[in-house]
Structure 1
Amino acid sequence: MNAPQNPAAGSPASGPVLMKRATYAAVAVALALVLMKAGAFWLTGSVAMLGTLLDSLLDGTASLVNLFAVRFALEPADRDHRFGHGKAEALAGLGQSVFIFISAGYITYESASRLIAPEPLSRSLIGIAVTVVAIALTLALVAYQRKVVRETNSLAIEADSIHYRGDLLMNLSVIAALLLSGVFGLTWADPIFGFVIAGFIAWSALQIVRNAGDQLMDKEMSEEDRDRIKQVVAAHEEAIDMHDLRTRMSGANLFIQFHLELDGSLSLMKAHRITDDIEKEIEALFPGSEVLIHQDPAGLERVPKLLRT
């Protein structure tokens, strides 16, 4: 997943509700998956099934962490947190990545053990049936999460969605492993697919770490989106230039600030009106964003500081 750059075009007012519903849905689905996969692992003994069971356990833990992190992140700005609590999402993402790395390590260990000492699988058809049901539930959850991410640009929901998208691939791998090992007697297939699953989980964790780090380090928006902001200013006939454009994400909140260069002879009232117009255009382009513009007399930045008085 790439770091969120362009806030979605959904209604800002509906964002918090959608994010909370997405966390509730994720916890409910994770619980159902854990119960089903635990039964399937007990019946089949498949290490691939164990891998996807552990992943679902960690997904459930991460989704529960997300539930509380999102609720905290949606708290309005207060005296001690003037920019809100959005970075709680990034911190939750880092916490999730730790769980995911641990899961990948354990699956790798179990797969290596089974490769050295292969064990035949039993009742593989039951495991396949359970996995098909898990795929259907996961597809429904991922579709809903993608809708929420499009409308809210939530890093926490996106990180959660990465887990469950990974589950889809892992569940397909489990079906292949159960067929090859349980039906066709290829006992090496189960641990090999376990290695593949562990690698995919670890790769997903790296993406979450990168995206969370981008938010915590206040990474700028993409050049494409920065150019869109500049185009809004350039299109305004009374705006002469702009400089010091800075942007950053905090959870689902986007902050944009820059200096706007105007004719120095304009009245304060007119300069204020021009600035308000530009702010509204940018906020329409990036719904839910907070725009802060400082007005400068045109050319002031090019005048030596000692001559400005």
Structure 2
Amino acid sequence: MANEKEAVALGSILASGAMTVGKFTVGMATGSLGLLSEALHSLLDLGATVLTWFAVRISDQPADAEHPYGHGKVESVSALAETGLLFLTSAWIIYEAAHRLMADRVEVEATWWAVAVVLVSIAIDYYRARELSRVAKETNSQALEADALHFSSDILSSAVVLVGLGLVWLGYPRGDALAAIGVSIFVCLAGYRLGRRTIDTLIDAAPAGAAERVEGIVRAVPGIAAVQRVRVRPAGSLLFVDLDVAVGRALPLNRVAEIKAAVVEALRAAMPEAEVTVAAHPLALDDETVLERVMVRAADLGVGVHHVTVQRVNGRLSVSFDLEVNGRLPIRQAHALSSRLERALKEELGDDIEVESHIEPQQDNGQEDGVDGVDIAAERTAAMQARMEAWAAESGRLLDVHNVRVRQTPSGLVVNFHSHVPPDLTVSEVHDAVDDLERHIRQQWPEVCRIVGHPEPAHDPVGGGTPVPSPLRGEG
């Protein structure tokens, strides 16, 4: 794409150069101010196209440490320079035209080769304007668009020169000066349009309707609760989009990351030129449950809670939960942490609520990466599994016990097991049955420090078709 931009810009240089030489030659030979004005206009176009060629080469260079947003605005600087040249040329044309209109005698010759040069110029301008406009649209290049605007205005100004030559041929020599003023008007109009766009880009003015379009696309992405701020600014062929969006504060971090990625994907699909940055902010949603609000506040403090119980007693909200803290933490520090969470919940749910917390130690082994464990002797594992199977048969609530693994750790024995249960039992009933088995094992083997039981519904060919929380563990 960058090679195509450079090629079309180089073609414009050659076309402008050829037209400049032709118009100057015929303009000097005939004395036509209109043609000389067009020659100067073409000379200006030649300088502008050279600027454009350098601009597109530089603007496509990747971002670096000194230019973190890339080099796209080089195109805008080039277009601004072209604008200044346009107005300077217009001033000279108007001055010369006024001088000729006030002169007693004007010598202008309307020849067939003057008309031929203008017609050839119109044909070249038409072809170049079409090619430049096509590539500018494909690459979103402001510099190429400025060149296309130049060549389009040249078609109109050349037509005005033809009218002036026609008036000269009909015996009105001052018609050439009037045509030159007409050329200057077209040049000024082109300069105004180009200058306005260029200045808007340099001062980071958002393209008309771009922010509204971005907001509409983002609002349609699932998981977006609100679009808080949209900032859009063009830079060469790129459109930088900075977004602040709101998502439900109860969402896990990986889900928030997925939503942000979906926003970027949606915008790039609709606006390929967009470079998108998304900041997601938590928002309390109206449909949050009390449980979700408790978990959010606990997460804010970096603590874990479980067994959350929410009640309404005589119209008053009551919340209780188990608070997990480091088992080696002094009780005064653990109690201070508990009090902080209770205050946070009253701020969240209201001062009149009742909050009760039960402090219990986390499974703490003192090592961030876990403890080293080894399988115990097979006969000891077999004896424990046999005892567990016998208890399951007596209770009738666990259909079997299988996949028993017992590991020795510095803290004691860690036992893992699976069991099948009737698929119509409730989670609470299954949890109670597993707890009872765990207590029985601890009575038989006091050195057990941790038991994890994983229940599975019976007759499930895929091993987990009925949703059962996994693993279900006892109080241990």
TM over 0.5: yes
- Residue 10 of structure 1 aligns with which residue? none
- Residue 183 of structure 2 aligns with which residue? 197
Who wins on radius of gyration, i.e. which is larger? Answer: 2
Q: Secondary structure at the match of 1:83?
A: coil
Bigger fraction of residues in strand: 2
Bigger fraction of residues in helix: 1
Q: Does 1:212 align with 2:170?
A: no
Q: CA deviation at 1:26?
A: 1.0
Residues 110-139 of structure 1, C-alpha deviations (whole Å, 9 max, x = no match): 111211124232252210011111111111
Q: CA deviation at 1:297?
A: 0.6
1:107 to 93, 111, 114: 93
Q: Secondary structure at the match of 2:106?
A: coil
- Residue 128 of structure 1 aligns with which residue? 115
Taking only aligned residues, the RMSD between alpha carbons, in angstroms, comes to 1.8
- Residue 293 of structure 1 aligns with which residue? 278
Relative to structure 2, which stretch is displaced further, 87-96 or 231-240? 231-240
Is the 2:110–2:166 contact (alpha carbons within 8 Å) kept by the matching residues of 1? no
Q: Does 1:137 align with 2:124?
A: yes
Q: Distance in 2 between matches of 1:101 and 1:235?
A: 46
Q: Distance in 1 between matches of 2:243 and 2:80?
A: 30
Identity of aligned residues (%): 27
- Residue 283 of structure 1 aligns with which residue? 268
Deviation above 3 Å: which 4+ runs of structure 1?
Answer: none
Counterpart residue type for residue 57 of structure 2: R
Q: TM-score, normalised by structure 1?
A: 0.89
Counterpart residue type for residue 95 of structure 2: Y
* Change beyond 3 A, Cα 1:210–1:299: farther
Q: CA deviation at 1:227?
A: 2.4
Q: Distance in 2 between matches of 1:66 and 1:31?
A: 14
Q: CA deviation at 1:247?
A: 0.4
Is the 2:218–2:266 contact (alpha carbons within 8 Å) kept by the matching residues of 1? no
- Residue 23 of structure 1 aligns with which residue? 9
Q: Secondary structure at the match of 1:260?
A: strand
Q: What aligned pairs does 1:119-268 form with structure 2 within 5 A after superposition? A: 119-181=106-168, 183-223=169-209, 225-268=210-253
Q: Distance in 1 between matches of 2:145 and 2:284?
A: 43
Counterpart residue type for residue 143 of structure 2: A
Q: CA deviation at 1:33?
A: 0.5
Q: Distance in 1 between matches of 2:222 and 2:269?
A: 19
Q: Secondary structure at the match of 1:131?
A: helix
Q: Secondary structure at the match of 2:10?
A: helix
Relative to structure 2, which stretch is displaced further, 117-126 or 198-207? 117-126
Counterpart residue type for residue 158 of structure 1: E
Higher-RCO chain (CA-CA 8 Å, sequence separation at least 6): 1
Counterpart residue type for residue 277 of structure 2: L
Q: CA deviation at 1:299?
A: 4.7
Q: Secondary structure at the match of 1:292?
A: strand
- Residue 44 of structure 2 aligns with which residue? 58
Relative to structure 2, which stretch is displaced further, 186-195 or 116-125? 116-125
Q: TM-score, normalised by structure 2?
A: 0.58
Q: Secondary structure at the match of 2:61?
A: coil
Is the 2:28–2:36 contact (alpha carbons within 8 Å) kept by the matching residues of 1? no
Q: Secondary structure at the match of 1:213?
A: helix
Q: Distance in 2 between matches of 1:233 and 1:69?
A: 33
Q: Distance in 2 between matches of 1:288 and 1:206?
A: 26
**Unaligned 5+ runs, structure 1:** 1-13, 301-306
Q: Does 1:41 align with 2:27?
A: yes
Relative to structure 2, which stretch is displaced further, 233-242 or 189-198? 233-242
Q: Secondary structure at the match of 1:76?
A: coil
Q: Distance in 1 between matches of 2:255 and 2:143?
A: 42
Is the 1:120–1:185 contact (alpha carbons within 8 Å) kept by the matching residues of 2? no
Counterpart residue type for residue 273 of structure 1: E
Q: CA deviation at 1:45?
A: 0.9
Q: Distance in 1 between matches of 2:80 and 2:109?
A: 38
